[in-house]
Amino acid sequence: MAKLLPIEDNGQIVGYLFDCPGCGNFHAPYIRPFKNEVGASWTFNGDLDKPTFQPSILARVERSGGKMMICHSFVTDGEIQFLGDCTHPLAGQTVDLPEQ
């Protein structure tokens, strides 16, 4: 099974999706020179088994009741390092990128 799912635009891979075990959402880093809807993009090492994206991936999602969920991580060599500002239980931990 794959750890990353390609995001395609007109038959060209512009980024990758991965399921985040911390926040339970999919993150979608777009690969330079492509940019997501807010203009962000990342470098990618090209390794689908042990991917590395730079810089960090920061997601802010408003949950019910107006509470903000923060998921902030580095993906390096196939591992997700959750930073201390995450608001989910995996904050401060490093886990393997799950297979999809």
Give residue-wise pLDDT tens across range 33-54: 999 999 999 999 999 999 999 9
Contact 18, 4 (CB under 8 A): yes
- Phi, psi angles (nearest 5°) of residue 66: 80, 5
Q: Which residues contact 69 (CB under 8 A, 6 or more apart)?
A: 23, 59, 60, 61, 62, 63, 87, 88
User: What pLDDT does residue 65 have?
Assistant: 80
43-44 vs 26-27, strand pairing mode: unpaired
Q: Which of 22, 81, 91 is nearest to 51 (CA)?
A: 81
Q: With bands split at pLDDT 50, 70 and 90, how would you rate the model's confidence at 62?
A: confident
Q: With bands split at pLDDT 50, 70 and 90, how would you rate the model's confidence at 61?
A: confident
